[in-house]
Structure 1
């Protein structure tokens, strides 16, 4: 059975983290399905797929004219390049996905080397967030760019107007929101070695924080509600360059996938038919996500996405735990079906439980809880319905599963091609220290390099003769509304003689029409972590690259050994846990983590930077880095809020860890 394509309408792109969710997306008549493998996926906590499983599922989807996109949106470490190469080779040979969704530039090189014939889509984790960057992505071969969730409809129009021929945009319409801008969160990695850029985020932003040390009251001050554009997709649907509506949720079950896919297909195809809009909204209400809102989509009516006092847990709130020492139960607000999955409380807190319903319970009935002594929830704990297996949906999935069994799959075969790595750069010259500050005169000294953050609103007052000798650092996140100001600021610096810049997103190369006579380095926020990615940076015109500071010590050394360009490293300073467009902290205000770590923030332009109360510091490893060939060592300076004191504690980050 095939389904007709709808080329003039935006595609509905559905998530799938396991087989049943994939089949639920097919049953809901998605236009495309995105999923990950058991390696190199930004949702490593999902079940994900093997090559053999995915080959059969892709054939089943293709028989119905449904596209399949494979998310390889993970940061590759130096010792993983060979593994990633053969994985892409097997995908291109055995699975034939319609697109690869990537953030690491190394995958551009890998796709070329295996002659991959499908499309390349740039993940939102790559943070292409301003119009001038789209042309740079086009030069690398990307035909679609996934937009940040923080863009309002006016900003999306600005991005659409800058789309090169042959490129379209993908916009999120539903699903979870992160406090940090995608690709600009190091929180989970900094506090525990589990990197969000590698799909291992432990979601520290969802935890309880206190505003004062010793305070009894705590709130979820960074925990975001879900995005749901629902009826506002009518506004989005008239932007032709937005060719795809994306539903987030690769860790969700088939119920969520089927309900959200069906709802957005109804809103797209039948929004003007009486009653269908109401039916679609009802489906979204029961999709088992978090409380939802429109976020920033309407610029004149933005929603604040954090509600520290409300329930922000995923799932439908059924009620609260009742009873005492002898009996614990919930009285559900809706009927419970056999097979339903209920979460009690929140992950990471005492008494957290996942309970499977064994028999149906009517609305208003009693569902009794059994728990070990150490996992006993307290009275008043919230109970959420987080997954449901309706008989009708499961019957459809079972029918598709039987058809899946008949699909021919390729015999597993190892890769046969040879990975080609770039030729390493010959290291030479004595290393230099670079002091990076926010104000002129605050960084650098005799025998040292001076670096300043560019501020389009308040240009630095620097003597004309000094402009050419300063390293000018661009912000890690630039939004469409301010890109024109950034362009003017950079042009002004160039007229004054500036020649050395550090770009903190590869796409910022779009601000430089002429590169002759300039020294342009890819900054540490570019998240470059392997020599293949450095080679792609060289293709774009970069002169050198700063390594991602979240690497382990072993990775730092291997990165330099194989790099085809000169390399630098951040050696010490205030590195942010996260960069966000959501203002949570007032000036001078701090937050206390569950581990008594103090967090503080600074607002720069449109973004809030969130810092811990201790510095990143690998100065003791300097000799090893020098022997490896690092050329520049950066020291990042920040102006501390009044009364803030940094703690003395090791700041090695992941140096002694195996980065996950």
Structure 2
């Protein structure tokens, strides 16, 4: 049937709204969201959001479901060995008291906990799980996954390729709006490596948003614009496997949630209406996010969402302090309401702060900013350059003439009225008190693997064989033509941390080539890469391990890998001493660990035009990073190595069997810093 100007499509994907607090949750309902995703106080990938208690979430879930809106709980954090019981308690309590429609997970151990607790909702794989190959969807389906959140880096043709391969009974979820991480999700240790605050556990301090200096030029080389597909979402209406349009923003305000959900409802329900498209564009502009882009969504017109020399903080420009002003004030470009929040400058500027509007200010009227010098900033309104909360603003903090002022949150009377009405409805629901859980996870039967550990060096090019040292090499399809069969046979082959759908056949062909030469030992760096091998269940002639980028960190996750066909696992490099030493006692597979070498901060599909690979980038704190391109991906490295060699005897006694050295040649002219890092060994991984 031909759609007319105002008709709706026959297929309607659901709009999934973020909610980091009660007000945002109610704003999503007020805007007509089809589903809401939120997190608890623990095990959420957005621990900086306010998040919810079980009792509060139980009442909100009843309200949402009474209106036909689904509720998904994001428990998409990496689980350490000691986390399994507490995480199991939460899943058990969710099942008995909250009854959400589904859970969003990244950790395979948590997937097993949903089975053991009898969780009856759907299980969705977070984008942090990095299912980036079409063949990987089948492996996810075998594990009972109902929906997969696709990486934000996929372009439209790759989304279609994933949809064509989608197993029966599985659906896909695509981000349509919100913040973009520079790194591929689940492929970033930047925040953790520089201070023990793991993005995989929801505590990223966003070092990629910092200003870096390269060859005399200052720039935010890794700070992304927001994703905003706006009118392009119409192309997703032709892909029924894409059941869900996801809006990012669990740290965003009720205003942002209401405006973005309303905009995408218009773009979905009235996709052919010129009026609706214009109205949606105006709503998205007023949502107060960062400058938006289509990023790489259109394969024929790819755009890199990086602009190192422009403003990329969130908010709508409210005005500038006049250049001849003796006191700090603005004449706002739009009316200001009581409760609105204004931001002066950005977080790396000394005059940065957030101010609350206390009275109605008409458009163009003078509004004094009342900047107080030397005032101690609150945790919520100020963060020092390295992301740690609090701190005292230096005395010379008066904003300079011409400084911009941004509106970052609104308190419109109409939205307040809608939320207040929903609060009244919410009071009709009174959930029972949440009872403590007595659930105890059943751990797999641990296996003890005898013999001394062996060292494995992983390089980019083949090296001479060394006695007692296993030689490994990152698989490079273009370089294979220069290698002989004997060299291929003796090496262990490492797959990259991410393989994109459009290049999957290239990696299949490369694997076939080295296997035909006699290679038998492989390391996959995404759990789903096992599907790139033929007959993944019966591999008696091969040894295939899950690599460090699989982020394996607990006994249940290890056993899930065993069940789908892996022969061993290299544990997550993020783990602290207690976690690392506890794992072998519980593991059903032999374990390996990165003991030394150049561990990348992250892997990304993005590269700013202004950034020069192989050249050092220096932060204001003197930290040095550098980048290198491999295939489609840019790898970001520090100039100091990870080194756990002083603890090798203790680690080997705990039961680890493979000790991995990652070799990476430094760029010309850059010397390795004499310092090394034990990563999180001496820290308590947050």
User: Could you tell me the TM-score, scaled by structure 2's length?
Assistant: 0.93
CA apart distance, 1:496: 1.5
508-517 or 158-167, which moves further after superposition?
Answer: 508-517
2:202 corresponds to: 199
Q: Over the residues paired in the alignment, what is the CA RMSD in angstroms?
A: 1.6
1:62 corresponds to: 65
* Correspondent of 2:522 among 475, 498, 501: 501
For these two proteins, the number of residue pairs brought into alignment is 652
- Is 1:424 the equivalent of 2:427? no
Residues 520-599 of structure 1 correspond to what in structure 2 (within 5 A)?
520-584=544-608, 585-599=611-625
- Is 1:413 the equivalent of 2:435? yes
CA apart distance, 1:142: 0.6
* Correspondent of 1:131 among 107, 111, 134: 134
Q: Secondary structure at the match of 1:113?
A: helix
Q: Is the 8 A contact 1:255 1:387 kept in 2?
A: yes
* Correspondent of 1:513 among 534, 540, 546: 534
Q: Is the 8 A contact 1:148 1:182 kept in 2?
A: yes
CA apart distance, 1:165: 0.4
CA apart distance, 1:469: 3.2
CA apart distance, 1:154: 0.6
Q: Is the 8 A contact 1:17 1:48 kept in 2?
A: yes
CA gap of 1:69–1:6, structure 2 versus 1, over 3 A, is farther
CA apart distance, 1:349: 3.6
2:185 corresponds to: 182
- Deviation string 1:273-299 (CA, Å, 9 cap, x unpaired) is 341111111100100000001111111
* Correspondent of 1:96 among 91, 96, 99: 99
Q: Is the 8 A contact 1:323 1:329 kept in 2?
A: no
Q: Distance in 1 between matches of 2:274 and 2:631?
A: 45
271-280 or 239-248, which moves further after superposition?
Answer: 271-280
CA apart distance, 1:180: 0.6
- Deviation string 1:119-155 (CA, Å, 9 cap, x unpaired) is 1100000111111100000000111110111111011
Q: Is the 8 A contact 1:259 1:287 kept in 2?
A: yes
CA apart distance, 1:323: 6.3
Q: Secondary structure at the match of 1:570?
A: strand
32-41 or 354-363, which moves further after superposition?
Answer: 354-363
Q: Distance in 2 between matches of 1:321 and 1:308?
A: 24
CA gap of 1:181–1:549, structure 2 versus 1, over 3 A, is same
Residues 109-148 of structure 1 correspond to what in structure 2 (within 5 A)?
109-148=112-151
Residues 227-626 of structure 1 correspond to what in structure 2 (within 5 A)?
227-322=227-322, 327-374=327-374, 375=393, 376-379=397-400, 380-441=402-463, 445-459=466-480, 461-514=482-535, 515-584=539-608, 585-626=611-652
Q: Is the 8 A contact 2:9 2:237 kept in 1?
A: no
Q: Distance in 2 between matches of 1:79 and 1:119?
A: 25
Q: Distance in 2 between matches of 1:343 and 1:421?
A: 49
- Deviation string 1:2-53 (CA, Å, 9 cap, x unpaired) is xxx9993111000000001000000111010000001000000000001111
Q: Secondary structure at the match of 2:146?
A: strand
CA gap of 1:460–1:382, structure 2 versus 1, over 3 A, is farther
Q: Distance in 2 between matches of 1:255 and 1:386?
A: 10
Q: Distance in 2 between matches of 1:586 and 1:525?
A: 26
Q: Is the 8 A contact 1:439 1:460 kept in 2?
A: no
Q: Distance in 1 between matches of 2:460 and 2:470?
A: 14
Q: Secondary structure at the match of 1:218?
A: strand
Q: Distance in 1 between matches of 2:358 and 2:428?
A: 32
Gaps of 5+ in 2: 1-7, 375-392
Q: Secondary structure at the match of 2:480?
A: coil
CA apart distance, 1:240: 1.2
2:20 corresponds to: 17
Q: Secondary structure at the match of 2:625?
A: strand
- Deviation string 1:69-97 (CA, Å, 9 cap, x unpaired) is 10000001111111001011101111111
CA apart distance, 1:593: 1.1
Q: Is the 8 A contact 1:440 1:461 kept in 2?
A: no
Q: Distance in 1 between matches of 2:628 and 2:295?
A: 22
163-172 or 295-304, which moves further after superposition?
Answer: 295-304
495-504 or 451-460, which moves further after superposition?
Answer: 451-460
CA apart distance, 1:631: 0.3
2:214 corresponds to: 211
CA gap of 1:635–1:274, structure 2 versus 1, over 3 A, is closer
- Deviation string 1:225-278 (CA, Å, 9 cap, x unpaired) is 011000001111111111110000000011100000010001000122341111
Residues 215-226 of structure 1 correspond to what in structure 2 (within 5 A)?
215=216, 218-226=218-226
Q: Is the 8 A contact 1:614 1:646 kept in 2?
A: yes
Q: Is the 8 A contact 1:41 1:198 kept in 2?
A: yes
- Deviation string 1:143-192 (CA, Å, 9 cap, x unpaired) is 11101111110111111111000011100000001111111111111111
- Deviation string 1:335-376 (CA, Å, 9 cap, x unpaired) is 111110111122244222111000111222222122332333
Q: Distance in 1 between matches of 2:221 and 2:491?
A: 38
Q: Distance in 2 between matches of 1:453 and 1:524?
A: 13
